[in-house]
Amino acid sequence: MSQPLRIIAEADQSVSTILSERVLIPVSCDHCKQDTDISLETLKTSSAIMCEHCYAVRPFGHTELQVIRSLLNRSGYRVNG
């Protein structure tokens, strides 16, 4: 049994990096203009997010999530789910 095993490494390089759901996305606050890092996991499941600086709560919708996703896609990242 001496058949060479060929590992196709190039295949991986054409696939964009898949981001973990735990990656933190900076979301800017309308109130104090500072960024709060929120995990993708939270963004997907929440309809509102709270600023960690001034505790202002603002709605976070599906449209905004789509915007973040398309920005990530353009940077070569893919989000699962």
User: What residues make contact with Zn ion under the rule CB under 5 A?
Assistant: 29, 31-32, 51, 53-54, 56
- Which residue's CB is nearer to Zn ion, number 52 or number 73? 52
- Which residue's CB is nearer to Zn ion, number 51 or number 72? 51
* Angstrom distance (rounded) from CA 36 to CA 54: 10
Question: Closest approach of Cβ 31 to Zn ion, in Å?
Answer: 4
Question: Closest approach of Cβ 20 to Zn ion, in Å?
Answer: 26
Question: Closest approach of Cβ 74 to Zn ion, in Å?
Answer: 27
- Which residue's CB is nearer to Zn ion, number 60 or number 72? 60
**How far is the CA of 55 from the CAs of 26, 45, 50, 63, 80, in angstroms?**
15, 19, 6, 22, 29
In this structure, are residues 60 and 49 in contact, taking their beta carbons and an 8 Å threshold? yes
